[in-house]
Amino acid sequence: MAHLCLSNSEMIIAEKLSGSELDTLLDTPSALLYPSLGWLPDNIDLDIDSFISDSDSNQQPVITQLIVIDATWKKSKKILHLNPQLQTLPRVNLSGGLKSNYTIRKTSISNGLSTIESIVQAMQLLEQKTDFQRLLKPFERMIALQKLSYLN
């Protein structure tokens, strides 16, 4: 959904990327949208303010690319283990009183959001002048259809 709604996005379908593919992907300052789960190094979480520059200055953003793994938790951990370069990236780690609207599926992670909800939260923080809530419209429609089918 995010790829269809974001014109400046790229979707890569792969479990493991070659070294050259990863080098090409990471040749721009990147961050990984992924929560702190205890098994990734703690010293690479960055405050959201360190990702964005002051809009009144000529300073460039520290991060120009957000990498998102869209998979189950088990699969996303496997992808990270198979691609250790991703583990070294600074992480955008969302926190606060987050609550997912994706009630059909549950997560054991507190404040756990679906991928699309996480992307919207992160993009809203990174690009504050743009309203990314529109990305949730197809997601909300999908949830409504799932609830209808579940009730029938």
For residue 31, what pLDDT band results from cuts at 50, 70 and 90? confident
Model confidence over 81-121: pLDDT tens digits? 999 999 888 888 777 677 777 666 666 666 678 888 889 88
Model confidence over 71-80: pLDDT tens digits? 888 899 999 9
pTM: 0.75
pLDDT at position 44 is 46
Model confidence over 116-152: pLDDT tens digits? 888 988 888 878 888 888 888 988 888 888 877 776 6
User: 18, 72 in Cβ contact below 8 A?
Assistant: no
Q: What is the dihedral of CA 100, 103, 104, 109, to 10 degrees?
A: 50
Q: Nearest-CA neighbor of 25 among 65, 56, 69, 59?
A: 65
Q: Nearest-CA neighbor of 112 among 34, 21, 15, 26?
A: 34
CA–CA distances in Å: residue 116 to residues 27, 30, 101, 134, 140: 25, 19, 11, 11, 11
